[in-house]
Amino acid sequence: MNKIEAKNVDFYYGSFHALKHISLDIPQNEVVAFIGPSGCGKSTFLRLFNRMNDLIPGTRLTGQISIDGTDIYGRSVDVDLLRRDVGMVFQRPNPFPKSIFENVAYGLRVNGVKDRAFIAQRVEEALKGAALWDEVKDKLKESAYALSGGQQQRLCIARAMAVEPSVLLMDEPASALDPISTAKIEELICDLSGRTTVVIVTHSMQQAARVSNKTAFFYLGEMVEYGETKKIFTNPDQEATQNYITGRFG
């Protein structure tokens, strides 16, 4: 069953044609990785799934993207509700200037949850889910900036997971982190698969190979190849993919 379906997506920043005729289906509760050199459009494509690109003036989209069968660019779509259901983790850890607890509780609070006991429970679950609970349980009231970069990024994952989204978008979530923190985050992604649909953009092919079920290779705004991760990394159909994964360019 497909969670996300994109059909003939073209996307423009002003006159720049950033994404060209992309069609791709993302199956439910699997991890899909987008790989490709910088500027190939993979992040742009990812940000279409929660309409983050709406914030950038002068952009234009044609084609159709649907989640659970609903066109997310349709007129009756409530963007705030969409974003609540499609969580996102960014390239750099970006905790809010609040306490650790309030960072995780934020999503619940802005979505109108008032029940304190429930919030506390969800915060604990989310922090445990992000393998951060043991490290922060005694300092939940402290500033999120007191945490290390890797901890901050796991906090951001906990923050995104606290509202229980059915899709989690990750835009190079480990690119600013050291190898140990990266390993922890990859472990988290593996934990999530089977429960949540995860779409991850990454520069690291090893990472894509380790965490994903399916991989899409982007190049110059086009999706060159999309398939089972194993196949992409062992026996790709396209020569460009072969060249990229073997490190001949990119």
To another protein, the closest distance from the beta carbon of 153 in angstroms equals 12
Q: What is the 3-state secondary structure (H, E, C) of the chain?
A: CEEEEEEEEEEEECCEEEEEEEEEEEECCCEEEEECCCCCCHHHHHHHCCCHHHHCCCEEEEEEEEECCEECCCCCCCHHHHHHHEEEECCCCCCCCCEHHHHHHHHHHHCCCCCHHHHHHHHHHHHHHCCCHHHHCCCCCCEHHHCCHHHHHHHHHHHHHHCCCCEEEEECCCCCCCHHHHHHHHHHHHHHCCCCEEEEECCCHHHHHHHCCEEEEEECCEEEEEEEHHHHHHCCCCHHHHHHHCCCCC
Count of C-beta atoms within a 10 Å radius of residue 72: 20
To another protein, the closest distance from the beta carbon of 12 in angstroms equals 18
C-alpha triplet 176, 32, 124: angle, nearest 5°: 60
Cβ closest to another protein, residue 140 vs residue 163: 163
Cβ closest to another protein, residue 64 vs residue 99: 99
To another protein, the closest distance from the beta carbon of 226 in angstroms equals 25
To another protein, the closest distance from the beta carbon of 65 in angstroms equals 16
Cβ closest to another protein, residue 20 vs residue 92: 92
Per the structure block, which two tokens stand in for 244? 């990229």
To another protein, the closest distance from the beta carbon of 233 in angstroms equals 30
To another protein, the closest distance from the beta carbon of 247 in angstroms equals 30
Cβ closest to another protein, residue 49 vs residue 226: 49
To another protein, the closest distance from the beta carbon of 162 in angstroms equals 8
Cβ closest to another protein, residue 85 vs residue 135: 85
Cβ closest to another protein, residue 55 vs residue 180: 55
Cβ closest to another protein, residue 196 vs residue 215: 196
Contact positions vs another protein (CB under 8 A) = 50, 52, 55, 57, 80-81, 83-88, 90-92, 94, 96-99, 106-107, 109-111, 142-145, 156, 159-160, 163
| Of 108, 111, 112, 110, residue with least CA distance to 124 | 108
